[in-house]
């Protein structure tokens, strides 16, 4: 999947000609569009959107069930890059046991105010079918909104974008943000396709350990979140800590076993 995504991205940049070269060199419309990580920032939960059915909803509606929320920013009329982002996201969520609507909420928000709920519904139908598991209907939401609200939600997440008149499309980066149940930005994941492990650990961490398995909790000790890359990497000191925890657990289990072992009774001669 990563190879196919890279090939598709190269073809897209090649098709854009000078605009694609500007994107790679950081010139033109892509200049200054780096994503600003706003870790621990509070999202404005009173922002109003429309879901794929056209129903008016508040951002805060998706935080009322006490679950982490995963947000990705795309635009639904995007000819290439946003589709690759959604393809990668679908692969990532399909490879973890957690389900949207049960363990977390998943919001795909368009930053193009011209996108409509009808177009959002088309995208939801496509990617829900590709996901192929329960939860997408109730837990994966495709949202549109007006231009002032787009500016507010993108500013809150540190996401920048610009219209490229030559290519007749938006220049923008890619990011997935994991948000705590209280609406604070917890983690950023960058790139077209994120490792399922990173997404799972991000959701577990955002939930403050309320979801996920004991193995996930141990992995959080072993892996360190690197905000520069938006990934979880192995950390030597955390391995030492995890080893210490494992030793304590093993020792406690051994002591418990000995305490439950029947004692031999002494018999007189």
**pLDDT per position as a tens digit, 169-184:** 999 999 999 999 999 9
pLDDT band for 90, please (50, 70, 90 cuts). very high
Residue 43's CB is within 10 A of a number of other CB atoms, namely 23
* pLDDT at residue 10 tops 50: no
- Residue 179 within any structural domain of the chain: yes
Residue 217 lies in a domain: yes
Q: Look at 55-59, 68-72, 119-123, 236-240 and tell me which has the smallest mean pLDDT.
A: 236-240
53 & 168 share domain: yes
**What was the pLDDT predicted at 268?**
47
Residue 248 resides in a domain: yes
Do 172 and 67 form a contact (C-beta atoms < 8 A)? no
Is residue 106 located within the same domain as residue 152?
yes
Which pTM value belongs to this model? 0.73
More confident call, 185 vs 134: 185
Query: For residue 98, is pLDDT > 80?
Result: yes
In a domain, 166, yes or no: yes
The answer on 234 and 121 residing in a single domain is no
Asked if residue 25 belongs to a domain, the reply is: no
Contact in structure between 219 and 229 (CB atoms under 8 Å): no
Q: How many domains does the chain have?
A: 2
Q: Are 70 and 184 found together in one domain?
A: yes
Give the per-residue pLDDT at 18.
43
Note whether residue 204 is domain-resident.
Answer: no
| 194, 224, 248 - which closes a domain | 194
pLDDT at residue 261, rounded to an integer: 59
- Does any domain span residue 11? no
- How confident is the model at residue 25, as a pLDDT? 43
Instruction: Indicate whether 19 pLDDT > 90.
Output: no
CA proximity to 94, closest of 196, 203, 242? 196
Host domain of residue 127? 32-194
């Amino acid at each position: 999947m990563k190879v196919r995504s890279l090939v598709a991205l190269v073809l897209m940049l090649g098709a854009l000609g000078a605009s694609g070269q500007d994107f790679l060199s950081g010139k033109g419309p892509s200049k200054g569009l780096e994503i600003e990580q706003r870790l621990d920032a509070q999202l404005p939960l009173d922002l109003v959107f429309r879901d794929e059915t056209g129903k008016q909803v508040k951002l805060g509606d998706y935080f009322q069930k006490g679950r982490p929320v995963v947000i990705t920013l795309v635009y639904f009329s995007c000819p290439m890059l946003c589709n690759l982002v959604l393809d990668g996201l679908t692969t990532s969520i399909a490879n973890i046991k957690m389900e949207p609507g049960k363990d977390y909420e998943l919001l795909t928000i368009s930053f193009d105010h011209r996108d409509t709920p009808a177009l959002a519904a088309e995208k939801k139908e496509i990617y829900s079918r590709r996901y192929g598991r329960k939860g997408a209907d109730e837990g994966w939401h495709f949202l549109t909104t007006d231009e002032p609200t787009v500016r507010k939600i993108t500013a809150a997440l540190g996401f920048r974008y610009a219209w490229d008149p030559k290519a007749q499309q938006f220049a923008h980066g890619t990011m997935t943000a994991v948000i705590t149940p209280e609406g604070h930005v917890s983690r950023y994941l960058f790139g077209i396709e994120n490792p399922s492990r990173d997404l799972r650990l991000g959701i577990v961490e955002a939930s403050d350990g309320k979801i996920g398995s004991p193995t996930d909790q141990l992995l959080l000790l072993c892996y360190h979140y690197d905000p520069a890359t938006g990934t979880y990497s192995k950390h030597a000191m955390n391995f030492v800590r995890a080893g210490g925890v494992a030793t304590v657990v093993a020792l406690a289990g051994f002591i418990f076993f000995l305490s439950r072992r029947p004692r031999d009774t002494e018999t007189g001669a």
